[in-house]
Every structure is written in C-alpha cells, then in structure tokens.
Amino acid sequence: MTTPATGVGAPIRRKEDHRFITGKGNYTDDINRPGQTYAVFVRSPHAHAKIRKIDAAAARAMPGVVGILTGADLAADKVGGLICGWMIHNKDGSPMSAGAHPALADGKVRYVGDHVAVVIAESLAEARDAAEKVAVDYEVLPAVVDLASATAKGVGTIHDVAPNNVVFDWHLGDKAATEAAFKKARHITRITLANNRLVPNAMEPRAALGDYDAGEDSFTLYTTSQNPHVARLILSAFIGIAPEHKLRVIAPDVGGGFGSKIYVYAEETVCVWAAKRVGRPVKWVADRTEEFLAVAHGRDHLTHAEMAVDEEGKILAIRVKTRANLGAYLSTFASAVPTYLYAPLLSGQYDIPAIYAEVETVYTNTAPVDAYRGAGRPEATFVVERLVEVAAREMGQDPAKFRLKNFVKKWPHQTPVIMMYDAGDYAGSMRQAQKLADVAGFGKRKRDSARNGKLRGLGYSAYIEACGIAPSSAVGSLGAGVGLWESAEVRVNPTGNVEVLTGSHSHGQGHETTFAQLVAGRLGIPIEQVSIVHGDTDKVQFGMGTYGSRSGAVGMSAIVKALDKVEAKARKVAALCMEAAEGDIDFKDGKFTVKGTDKSMAFGEVALQAYIAHKFTGQQLEPGLKEGAFFDPTNFTFPAGVHICEVEIDPETGVTKIEKWTAVDDFGTVINPMIVEGQVHGGIAQGVGQALHEGTVYDKNGQLLTASFMDYGMPRADDLPSYSLGFNGTAAPSNPLGIKGCGEAGAIAAPPAVINAITDALGHEEIAMPATPQAVWLAVQKMAKSIAAE
C-alpha cells in the first residue's frame, strides 16, 4: 500500500509543532493581564467536616491581600452551584440524588481538598502566605472512604438528599432473559474485580484567569478546557456568572486533558466571578498536589460478573453487578460514565443473546470521579475481557479460539444493551494481530524464559468502544442535558486562504494538522493556506468540544458538510464567471473547469471573484464565500481491535516486563496515520499505567496518600515498551468520512491485555490492578504454596 504525501491518509508533520518545540506555545498560565492578581484556595484538610467558623481577619491584614472570599459571598451574589449534566433515573423511575455542589463550601466540606475560601493577593507568594493565616474551625465528622462499605448503616451521610450515600441504583438489559440463559448454562464463570481509581494527570495542571471589563460589563475566562462553549453554557445558564453574550471563554493551548478538563470546576468559576468582585483579573494555577486532590478522578468500580456458556463454548449471557464511586460531589458528566458509557459496552465484540447489568453509584468523602480516557468503556472492557479469558481457561479452550468462536460476524449487529454495531471485522483483526505478535512462536519464547528462571505470559484484549459521541436524540433519550453534534464554519478569504472554525478543541490531538489536511485535500490548496481556529467562544459560534473520540467522526464531519456548501457556492461563482451552466462545472485538484472546454479557474480565483463580485449581480448570487454547518451523526461509531501483550515476570522480584505489545485497530478511515499511531501509543501507556503502576490510595480518614509524582506511579519511559501497530479499518457508515475515532482505544484495550498476560504467566486468576512488583511477588508466593500443597 502506498502512503499519500498530502491529503487524507498522509503522515503529514504537525503544523502546531513549531510553536511547541520553540517554547512559543500559549498555555493559560502563559497569559497575563494588566493588574492581575493571584488566587490561592484554602482547602479542607479533612475529608468530612462541618465548618463552624471561618476567621479571615489575620489573613486580611497580611501584605498584598486584595480580597478573601467564601461561600457566603458566592451566595450573596446568587452564584449557583456546579452541576451534573446527565440525569440518571433509579430502577423505580425516581431521579438520582444529586447533592448541592457549591464552588466554595456552604457550611460543610466533603473531601480533602474541598474548596473553603479563596485568597486573592498582589503576588502568588503573598496569596500563599495569607491563605495559611485563614483560620477555619472544623467539626470533624466520620469519613466515608471505603467503597464497599459506603452504604452500610451508621457510616454517616455525605449529602442529606442521599441518606444512605446512594446516588442512584440503575440497571440495563433484560433480567428475565438473562436469568433464563444462566439456567441453561453448561458452565458459569464468576469473577470479582476492582477497577482501580486513577488520577488523569495531564502534564499541564489546571489553570484559570478571570477578567472583567466594567465598561462592557462583560467577562473573559481563560481556562484549561476541552470544551469552552460547554463551559460558557454552564457558567451562564446554571451558575449564573453572566449571560452567554457577556462571557467569553478562551481555552488556548491546553496541555493534555484525557477527560479531566471537560468539566466546569470550582476554581475557574471562582476566578471569573471574583474578577468582578475585586475589580482586577484573577489568576489561579494548580500545583500538582492540588491537581491530585481536586481534579476529577477516573474509574473506581467494584464488580461481580458472571458469564454463562453452553457446551460448545458459545456465550449465552453476561450478568454484572457494579458499585461505582462518584466521590463527594457529582462532577459534570459523572453519572453518565458508569451507566450509559459502561453497560452498553458489556457485549464486547461478542454475539451474546442476553445481558443484564445493575449499577449502584455512591457518594464517598473522596475527590469527585468523572470521565477519564475511555470513561466507562475501559471498565466494561476489563469486565468482558477478563470474563472471556477466565471462561476459556476454565473450559480448557484456547483464549483466542474462544474469542473467535464468539465474535460478532455480521453487521449491523444489535446487542441486547442498546448498541447497534454497524461495521467491523473482529476476526480479521485477531488474525492480523496474532501474526504481527508471532503468537506461533510464543511457546518457544516461554520455554526460553523458563530456562532463565522467568515466567512468560501472553494476554489478549479484544475491545470495542462506542465513540464519536453521539446522536443528539439518542443521548437525549438517555438523559444527556445537551446535544452532541458538532459545528464548523469554513471562511474562504478573498485571497483564497481558508480559516476553519471548529467547535472541537485540540489539547494534543493535532487538529490544526488533520483538519487542515482534510480541507487542503478537498479544496486542492496547500495545507499552509489553511488555519484551524478553535478554543474561543468569541470566534467560534458554538461547539461541543473534544472527548469520547468525537473530533474526527463528528467535528471533521461538520467541516465536510461546510465544505460541501462552500464547493456548491464556488461552483455557482465559477459558472457565472466562465459563462457556463453550473452543471457543466467540474471541480478537481483545486481547479474549476468547464466540461469540454479549456476554460478553467483556480480555487483562489473563484474565491476572489466571489468577493469582488464584478462578474455577477446581487440578484444572481450573494457575494462572499463562507459557509457553516452542524453535523449530528446517525449512530455512535464502534472502533474495535485486538491488543496482545506479552510479559516476562521475574518471580524473584515480582517485576513484570512488557516484552512485546501488538495492536491491530479498526478506526475506520485514518486521516493521518502518524497522529493516529501517536494516540494509540499514549492510550496504551495510560492503560499499562492502570494495570501496572497507578493506584490512588486514600487512608481510612480520607487523606490522599498518593498526592504527588513521588507517590503515584506515573509511567515513565523506562516502564514502557515500544509498540507494534497495525490497522484493519472498516468505514463507519454513520459519518461521511467513515472515521471511527482512536483517542481512547489504547487506554481501553490495555488493562485486560496486561492482566490476562500476567495471569497467564502465573497460572493464577487473581491479581488486582495495579499489579505492582509487590502484588505480583505475593501472587508468585501463593502460586508456589498451592503447587507445593498439590
């Protein structure tokens, strides 16, 4: 296969890189406004406490202090609380129990790091010094920290609206059909597992800079956001900072998000509000420990799952009971993650007649939990791929053959849990991955390892995800408070260069390149003549932002729609200029030609004619060349693939070394393979991090023990292997480009691949994530004991 040098499919080097490699990026903390002040938050040192009194007198007297604000000031200004934008109903139809979420505490704190007050001063150092002088009198309450016992009698109530700490008790699927299938089962596999809590840790800590223009009575918020328009909508319509037309939200260069920068947080709310209060711009930048304490965490499920299999090894049903930790407050999309982003993926890549899932979500005195790379889908994949693996092993079947037997083989395929898989080739990806991973040679490699006193294991993960989030009417019916289309505007300038305004937001994904690549290819102009504008609500009319691998499938599709309109208009201009019928105009490689003649106009000439408008009258055609579009997909997209992880374990130390990583993914159409491969690498690294390194630990009092890079296992260069990747694309029918999305795949696929490989090496089915050397070493000891006992 040849790789094109330009346009769709070309590994074009990134346009945005020049500024990043020369230190000219423009991140929120790089922005400063005249008269700027600095905010430091007074945070709760207790996981659960009543605030008896806040005494700020001594702090106010400290040098440089401009203002100290508390929840009482927010209430006085009628600033609303933070919201959760997805309504989930209980099994009995009643709505979830959403506790109030004030940006600054209203008499009570609910996790260590909760926001009590903000100190604003002339310098950061002065703000820090003064914050230490704010005296808060707490009445400490018992903390609810352990997920398993969070609803037990007498543990204490976190929100009055949820006396037993249950946010909702939800289910999906056909319970009766599932029970019936289990009754017919020849074999039932049962597993209990935890999906460990993770801290997203984008390298750029969150930051916000609020500015208020008294002359215009308008606000500007610079913030580290993946979706500035959604932030503005929430800050306007729900929190009540200012009407949308009086609030500009700018998300400039953003240093990674992984979900954690989707949400509207207390700090940015306070900075923009306080800017008017103190009459000066207010800047806040999180230090890393504040990020650990107060950013929305990810995952944190406890699950018991069962799989029913018939005598031929066909899966009959899956039954899942999950308890999910949502932390102390409901973050912006928290309720959607363990429900509609989770249970509809429990069919995996398999043809399973019956599925029933029950999910109970609870409050605990820990940081809020929301979507983190993959969001619900890694949790579902971990359940399914562990079930499948364990079932195959228990039944003495080859795990790959067991998967191949049960894969969906015809599309469209309606699962029993909402999703209609529309295109794929699961068996093809498995075979391609097995070849690339040299599975045939694994036996020899295992023997070689054994000779060296090492244990070698091989683990599969056949994941699927629902991306390109998503048809608005579908998500609306499931409880979403917003639609999930995307918008685009293509502005052709008179000199033929093009600005594309998109509601997608790039925070590492390379949109400035891939989007420009698409536009340049379509219009037949050099990529240098295309710029992508995003991240500013004053420039882009509206957009839903970037998450859920939606920017290609939904965001780029909106650009295609707008380009269709631009081309249609340009054809009219060309026809009038060349005095030909519109139907006789061809457009190819940036040239408009009149069929059967040698008349032609370059795209740039047509653009100029569209604006000078000398060759047609206003009655014939409106001047100008600028078109907008909104695109709402007809379905989710379903990226899927097979990852194979091969590990070697040193039983003496418990250290797991990943020897080989193979991934074959179906992302549909790939616009820029270099960028897509980069997304896969990064996703796998985060998944490997979850499987081997990253564990978030609270002590019994709710103190976060892993609150720095000294304590939390961020994967480093020497923890990870290089990866061997392949693509097996089948076009997605739900968008014009056939894109499925690639951003989350690695993080979804990787954890079960690692754990399946480790348990294969150990011959042991219990190992919790993160499988640290200590955990693996303990499992090795247990294995040795059980062998000795036999």
User: Which of 75, 621, 720, 731 lies at the binding interface for another protein (CB under 8 A)?
Assistant: 720
Distance CA(546)–CA(754), nearest Å, equals 28
Q: Which stretch binds another protein (CB under 8 A): 101-109, 188-196, 327-335, 507-515?
A: 507-515
Distance CA(755)–CA(772), nearest Å, equals 11
Q: Should residue 751 be labelled a site residue for another protein when binding is judged by CB under 8 A?
A: no
Integer distance in angstroms from the first to the last C-alpha of the chain?
55
Q: Should residue 310 be labelled a site residue for another protein when binding is judged by CB under 8 A?
A: no
Q: Should residue 24 be labelled a site residue for another protein when binding is judged by CB under 8 A?
A: yes
Q: Which stretch binds another protein (CB under 8 A): 83-91, 323-331, 703-711, 771-779?
A: 703-711
Contacts of residue 283, Cβ cutoff 8 Å, sequence gap at least 6: 29, 32, 33, 36, 37, 38, 39, 207, 208, 209, 210, 271
Tokens 């923890």 locate to 719
User: Which of 414, 708, 774, 781 lies at the binding interface for another protein (CB under 8 A)?
Assistant: 708
Tokens 């609206």 locate to 161
Inter-residue contact 63 to 314 (CB < 8 Å): no
User: Which of 64, 479, 678, 733 lies at the binding interface for another protein (CB under 8 A)?
Assistant: 678
Distance CA(281)–CA(211), nearest Å, equals 4
| Dihedral sign for Cα atoms in the order 361, 364, 368, 371 | negative
Q: Should residue 259 be labelled a site residue for another protein when binding is judged by CB under 8 A?
A: no
Give the number of residues in contact with another protein, rule: CB under 8 A.
60
In 241-280, the DSSP E strands lie at 247-250
Q: Should residue 510 be labelled a site residue for another protein when binding is judged by CB under 8 A?
A: yes
User: Which of 686, 690, 696, 734 lies at the binding interface for another protein (CB under 8 A)?
Assistant: 686
The DSSP 8-state label assigned to residue 298 in this structure reads B
Residues 74-133 that bind another protein (CB under 8 A): 125
Q: Should residue 287 be labelled a site residue for another protein when binding is judged by CB under 8 A?
A: yes
Tell me the three state secondary structure of residue 161.
coil
* CB closer to another protein, 494 vs 678: 678
Q: Which residues of 264-297 are buried (b: 16+ CB within 10 A; e: fewer)?
A: bbbbbbbbbbbbbbbebbbbbbbebbbbbbbbbb
Distance CA(744)–CA(48), nearest Å, equals 34
Q: Should residue 491 be labelled a site residue for another protein when binding is judged by CB under 8 A?
A: no
Inter-residue contact 604 to 495 (CB < 8 Å): yes
Q: Should residue 8 be labelled a site residue for another protein when binding is judged by CB under 8 A?
A: no
Question: What is the identity of the amino acid at 455?
Answer: L
Q: Which H or E element spans position 195?
A: strand 187-195
Q: Should residue 137 be labelled a site residue for another protein when binding is judged by CB under 8 A?
A: no
* CB closer to another protein, 424 vs 510: 510
User: Which of 7, 8, 25, 188 lies at the binding interface for another protein (CB under 8 A)?
Assistant: 25
Tokens 């249950």 locate to 166
User: Which of 258, 460, 547, 638 lies at the binding interface for another protein (CB under 8 A)?
Assistant: 258
Q: Should residue 614 be labelled a site residue for another protein when binding is judged by CB under 8 A?
A: no
Residues 188-207 that bind another protein (CB under 8 A): 201-205
Min separation Cβ 289 and another protein, Å = 6
Burial of 633 (0-12, 13-18, 19+ CB in 10 A): buried
Q: Which stretch binds another protein (CB under 8 A): 47-55, 253-261, 346-354, 419-427?
A: 253-261
Q: Which residues of 365-376 are buried (b: 16+ CB within 10 A; e: fewer)?
A: bbbbbbbbbbbb
Q: Should residue 457 be labelled a site residue for another protein when binding is judged by CB under 8 A?
A: no
Q: Should residue 657 be labelled a site residue for another protein when binding is judged by CB under 8 A?
A: no
Q: Should residue 479 be labelled a site residue for another protein when binding is judged by CB under 8 A?
A: no
Give me Rg for the CA atoms of the chain.
Answer: 28
Q: Should residue 681 be labelled a site residue for another protein when binding is judged by CB under 8 A?
A: yes
Min separation Cβ 14 and another protein, Å = 7
User: Which of 113, 399, 508, 695 lies at the binding interface for another protein (CB under 8 A)?
Assistant: 508
Tokens of 489: 């505007």
Q: Should residue 214 be labelled a site residue for another protein when binding is judged by CB under 8 A?
A: no
Distance CA(326)–CA(365), nearest Å, equals 10
Inter-residue contact 311 to 186 (CB < 8 Å): yes
Residues 138-167 that bind another protein (CB under 8 A): none
* CB closer to another protein, 100 vs 674: 674
User: Which of 374, 654, 683, 741 lies at the binding interface for another protein (CB under 8 A)?
Assistant: 683
Q: Should residue 547 be labelled a site residue for another protein when binding is judged by CB under 8 A?
A: no
Tell me how crowded residue 782 is: count the other CB atoms within 10 A of its CB.
14
DSSP 563-583: HHHHHHHHHHHHHHHTT--GG
Residues facing 139 on adjacent strands:
50
Q: Should residue 11 be labelled a site residue for another protein when binding is judged by CB under 8 A?
A: yes
Q: Should residue 714 be labelled a site residue for another protein when binding is judged by CB under 8 A?
A: yes
* CB closer to another protein, 24 vs 245: 24
Residues 288-307 that bind another protein (CB under 8 A): 288-289
Min separation Cβ 15 and another protein, Å = 10
Inter-residue contact 455 to 762 (CB < 8 Å): yes
Q: Should residue 726 be labelled a site residue for another protein when binding is judged by CB under 8 A?
A: no
* CB closer to another protein, 256 vs 483: 256
Q: Should residue 13 be labelled a site residue for another protein when binding is judged by CB under 8 A?
A: yes
Q: Should residue 29 be labelled a site residue for another protein when binding is judged by CB under 8 A?
A: yes
Q: What are the C-alpha distances in Å from 496 to residues 7, 528, 674, 777?
A: 18, 12, 28, 64
Min separation Cβ 232 and another protein, Å = 22
Q: Should residue 452 be labelled a site residue for another protein when binding is judged by CB under 8 A?
A: no
Q: Should residue 620 be labelled a site residue for another protein when binding is judged by CB under 8 A?
A: no
Min separation Cβ 618 and another protein, Å = 46
* CB closer to another protein, 83 vs 670: 670
Q: Omega before 228 cis (within 30°)?
A: no
* CB closer to another protein, 673 vs 726: 673
User: Which of 9, 16, 518, 762 lies at the binding interface for another protein (CB under 8 A)?
Assistant: 16
Q: Which stretch binds another protein (CB under 8 A): 65-73, 473-481, 554-562, 707-715?
A: 707-715
Distance CA(301)–CA(417), nearest Å, equals 20
Tell me which residues touch another protein (CB under 8 A).
Answer: 3, 11, 13-14, 16-25, 27, 29-30, 125, 201-205, 253-256, 258, 285, 287-289, 507-510, 673-675, 677-679, 681-686, 708-710, 714-718, 720, 722-723, 746
